[in-house]
Amino acid sequence: MSSIYFLSQQMMFFSIPLLIVALGGLFSERSGVINIALEGIMMFGAFGGIVFIAIMQGSANLNPSLLIILGMLVAALVGMVVSLLHAYASINMKANQVISGTAINLLAPAFAVFFGRLLTTTGTPQIPFSNQFRIPAVPGLNKIPILGGMFFTNAYLSTYLGLLGLVVASLVLYRTKFGLRLRACGEHPAAADSVGINVYRMRYAGVLLSGALAGIGGLVFIIPTSTEFNPNSGVAGYGFLALAVLIFGQWKPARILGAAFFFGILQAVAAASSGLPFLRELTVSSYFYKIMPYAVTLIVLAFTSKKSQAPKAAGVPYDKGGR
C-alpha cells in the first residue's frame, strides 16, 4: 500500500504542472492563437519564480505558503511579459505562430544560462533554493481512508491551487460572457467582430492568460522535483507534453484533467521506477521507463489526431480589413 501512496504522490507532482500549462494552452488556442511557446514560457516563469524565492529566502523570513504564492505570482507575471512578444507577433504582425513560438523556445534556455551565471556567485547557471514548501499532512483530510494517504500527505499547496484553477477555468470558459467571446474568436472571428467583439483584444487576453499559467506551471514543476533551477535540464519538455495533453483532451477542461493524470502517472513511473519493489523485480532497463512517456505521447497523438476538433480559427491570423 505504501508503494501506491508513493506513486500517487509522485503522479500529482507531474500531473499538476501538465494540467496548469495545458489550461494555459487552452485559453490561447480557444482565442485563435496557437501557443507552441509553452515550453519556453515555462522556463522563463520557472527562472523568475525561483530567483524570487531564492532571494526572499535569503533576506526575509516569510511563511513558506505565502512565499510559494508570491513566487507563483512572479512566475505568472514573467510568463505574461514573455507571452506579449508572441501575442504581438501573432496578432498585430500576423507572423507565423509556430515560428514565433519556436523563437521563444530557443531564447529561453540561453536567457536562463546567461542571467543565471550573472546572478550566482559561483558563475554557474544553477539557482539553488531551499525546498520548505512540502506539507507533511493536511490536518483532518489526511485521516481520510486511502485518499488521505494518497492526496493529503507529503503534498504541496500548488497541487490544490492547480485543481482549483481547473474549476475556475471551466467556469470562465463556459459560464461567463468573457469565455463565450473568447471561444467565438477562436471559432468564427469575423462573426464575433460583426457583433462588436474586439477580436484582437480577446486574443491578447487569451495569450496573456496562457503565458501566466505556463509561467506558474514552470515553477510548479521545479519546486516538488528539485532543489535548484538548472537551465541545462530546463523543464524537461513539459511544454510540449502539455500541448499533447491539450490535444488528447480535445480542448476541453475535464478531458485535459484526465489526460494530465494519464501522462502524469507515466512520468511518475519513470521517475520512481528504481524505488518501487514491483518494478525492481522486472528485468527492464530504467531507460525504458524514461522513454515511455514520450513514446506513448507519439502513439496517442498518432491515433487521436484525425479525431481532433481544434478551434477552427486556431493558427489563422485575423485581418479585420480583409475579414
d(CA 46, CA 50): 6
Q: Is 250 among the domain residues?
A: yes
Q: Is 143 among the domain residues?
A: no
Q: Is 31 among the domain residues?
A: yes
Do 73 and 38 meet the contact criterion of CB atoms below 8 Å apart? no
The pLDDT assigned to 278 comes to: 63
Q: Is 149 among the domain residues?
A: no
d(CA 206, CA 208): 6
pLDDT tens digit sequence for 131-177: 889 998 888 888 888 888 888 888 899 999 999 999 999 999 999 99
d(CA 140, CA 223): 25
Q: Smallest Cα–Cα separation from 131: which of 151, 101, 154? A: 154
Do 311 and 186 meet the contact criterion of CB atoms below 8 Å apart? yes
DSSP string computed for 194-242: HTT--HHHHHHHHHHHHHHHHHHHHHHHHHHH-SEE-TTTTTTTHHHHH
> Mean pLDDT, the chain, as a whole number?
89
Q: Is 146 among the domain residues?
A: no
The pLDDT assigned to 45 comes to: 96
3-state secondary structure of 268: helix
Q: Is 139 among the domain residues?
A: no
- The region of weakest confidence among 58-72, 199-213, 273-287, 302-316 is 273-287
The pLDDT assigned to 141 comes to: 83
The pLDDT-based confidence of 303 (bands split at 50, 70, 90) is: confident
172, three cell numbers: 470562465
121, three cell numbers: 556567485
What is the domain extent for residue 56? 2-127+159-307
Global pTM value: 0.93
User: Does the pLDDT value for residue 275 go beyond 80?
Assistant: no
The pLDDT assigned to 309 comes to: 82
CATH code for position 7 = 1.10.3470
Q: What is the number of domains present in the chain?
A: 1
pLDDT tens digit sequence for 69-124: 999 999 999 999 999 999 999 999 999 999 999 999 999 999 999 999 998 877 88
pLDDT tens digit sequence for 205-239: 999 999 999 999 999 999 988 889 998 888 888 99
Q: Is 37 among the domain residues?
A: yes
Q: Is 322 among the domain residues?
A: no
Dihedral-angle region of residue 315 (phi above 0 means left; psi in -120 to 50 means alpha; beta otherwise)? left
